[in-house]
Amino acid sequence: MLDAGYWMLLSPSCKSAIRNLKSKISPGRRPLRAGGRNRTMALIVQKYGGTSVADLDRIQKVAERLIRVYSAGNDVVVVLSAMAGETDRLIQLAHQITNDPNRRELDVLVATGEQTTVSLLCIMLESMGCPATSLLGHQAEILTNRAFGRARIVGIHATRIKELLSQRKIVVVAGFQGRDQQGNITTLGRGGSDTSAVAIAAALNADVCEIYTDVDGVYTADPNLCKKAKKIEKICYDEMLEMASLGAKVLQIRAVEFAKKFNVPVHVRSSFQEEEGTMVVKEEVDMERLAVSGVTYTKDEARITLSRVPDKPGIASTIFTAIGEAGIVVDMIIQNTRKGGLTDLTFTVSKSNFPKAMAIQNEVAESIGAEQVIGDEHIAKVSVIGVGMRSHSGVAAKTFAVLAKENINIIMISTSEIKISCIIEEKYTELAVQVLHHAFGLDSP
């Protein structure tokens, strides 16, 4: 059960979403607390992104909000990002020394961004009379594998967090970071504080994980690009997972995976206003079933084509083994057959991996006798997403027709049962998002 003060702030649909989820997770797992407090309290995890802690004024606003929630009797764990722009600044500093900084040391460096904000918030809270303790990733026992720069959380012991909560402290944890088995500092990939927050909420069996950011919820498209985008009141984990994977950076993909796996209700909302945001929850029978519920884009794509490749067994394996061994993730792949026992093979990688992938493919092309390797960094991927697609036909045809009407050429296509993605020229990204958003009836009136 949630604290009455906090509960009152929520709309009926939010309440029902949380109730629904909570009834499915071990009921009654959090007994009424002793210690003079006469109401059932909530355990709330709140995460604040970079813009929410960009300077001391904003950190003070965060502290004020926390004190309100804490004073109402709730237990509060806070997860913070670095100040806006700080992680980029630190990465650039390292790149001024070398193009390929040591990845272990880069993690030690970028983790300092979050160390700054957690300590500042605790100093702020203490100065306002509220007991608070900061914990870095390793102190909060966030255990990860050893993949520096993109580590995955493998466990959270949370004993220290629980101990501090039992002393009625606000616990402020540095997001984005953990430690591997040897004690090395690791980071979880860009946007990783979302994942820290949801994983901590899962480990603590928290009532809700609130993600405070610079928009007031999850929208049908990026509200900063599509002015007619509408706020979504409630979205299921699978749809959110597709949106996050296909470019909606409002939540990191791994955060949604954790939320889905451990049934954590996630509330995405604004740190600048009180209005409710979007609940990310398990799919419910009564959820609205539009064919398309969102349109996303990502410009972080680059395309590589190996042309006139001998069409024989083992060629694809040679090409993609070389890429895989370099730790590069391939997104889309298409193969076109030509006459004369030749074929063209095209695939996409992220822009940051493009130079390395091109170098590898130039070597591979020579070894397999391909005619040439062509690269293109000026592409983007637009996607239409919706669980309703499972029961609506014609979404793909309509997507292609809408793009054709604007003379936007589709370079590659990939589909799943709940999404259709098209690679197009980068310069058409905004237009494509806007016309698809309109065509699928998502524009706000």
Contact of 43 with 69, CB cutoff 8 Å: no
Kindly tell me which of 142 and 360 has the beta carbon lying closer to ligand ADP: 142
Length of the chain: 445
The contact pattern for ligand ASP, residues 31-60, with x = CB under 6 A and - = no contact, is ------------------xx----------
The listed partner (ligand ADP, ligand ASP, Mg ion, none) that binds 164, CB under 5 to 8 Å by sort, is none
Is 195 in a helix, a strand, or coil? helix
- Angstrom distance (rounded) from CA 414 to CA 419: 8
- In the chain, the largest separation of any two C-alpha atoms, in whole Å, equals 84
Q: Does 347 bind ligand ASP (CB under 6 A)?
A: no
Give, as ranges, the residues between 175 and 194 that touch ligand ASP (CB under 6 A): 175-176, 190-194
Give, in order, the Cα–Cα distances in Å from 119 to each of 115, 164, 263.
6, 16, 30
Shortest CB 191 distance to Mg ion, Å: 4
DSSP secondary structure string for all residues of 351-362: GGGHHHHHHHHH
Shortest CB 81 distance to ligand ASP, Å: 3
Give me the phi and psi of 422, to 5 degrees please: -130, 135
Shortest CB 234 distance to Mg ion, Å: 21
Give me the phi and psi of 315, to 5 degrees please: -70, -50
Query: Vertex 181, ends 88 and 94: CA angle to 5°?
Result: 20
- Angstrom distance (rounded) from CA 155 to CA 6: 29
- Token pair of 294, please? 């969102």
Nearest partner of 188 among 152, 138, 143, 146, judged by Cα:
152
Q: Does 175 bind ligand ADP (CB under 6 A)?
A: no
Q: Does 297 bind ligand ASP (CB under 6 A)?
A: no
**Helices and strands, counts by H and E, the chain:** 13, 18
- Angstrom distance (rounded) from CA 398 to CA 285: 26
The DSSP code for 51 is G
The listed partner (Mg ion, ligand ADP, ligand ASP, none) that binds 386, CB under 5 to 8 Å by sort, is none
**Residue from 65, 74, 113, 140 in contact with ligand ASP (CB under 6 A):** 113
- Relative to beta strand 185-187, strand 170-174 is unpaired
The contact pattern for Mg ion, residues 29-68, with x = CB under 5 A and - = no contact, is --------------------x-------------------
Shortest CB 236 distance to Mg ion, Å: 20
Give me the phi and psi of 135, to 5 degrees please: -135, 130
Number of residues that bind ligand ADP (CB under 6 A): 18
Shortest CB 22 distance to ligand ADP, Å: 25
Q: Does 217 bind Mg ion (CB under 5 A)?
A: no
Give, as ranges, the residues between 231 and 270 that touch ligand ASP (CB under 6 A): none
Give, as ranges, the residues between 194 and 233 that touch ligand ASP (CB under 6 A): 194
Binding segment (CB under 5 A) for Mg ion, from list 185-193, 263-271, 341-349, 369-377 = 185-193
Nearest partner of 398 among 388, 416, 412, 384, judged by Cα:
384
Kindly tell me which of 211 and 360 has the beta carbon lying closer to Mg ion: 211
Shortest CB 430 distance to ligand ADP, Å: 13
Kindly tell me which of 215 and 306 has the beta carbon lying closer to ligand ADP: 215
Q: Does 429 bind ligand ADP (CB under 6 A)?
A: no
Is 85 in a helix, a strand, or coil? coil
Give, as ranges, the residues between 395 and 424 that touch ligand ADP (CB under 6 A): none
Q: Does 214 bind ligand ADP (CB under 6 A)?
A: yes
CA quadruple 154, 160, 166, 170: dihedral sign:
negative
Kindly tell me which of 293 and 361 has the beta carbon lying closer to ligand ADP: 293
Query: Vertex 240, ends 237 and 241: CA angle to 5°?
Result: 80
Shortest CB 440 distance to ligand ADP, Å: 14
- Chain residues that interact with ligand ASP, rule: CB under 6 A: 49-50, 81-82, 87, 113, 175-176, 190-194
- Chain residues that interact with ligand ADP, rule: CB under 6 A: 49-51, 81, 191, 213-215, 218-219, 221-224, 243, 248-250
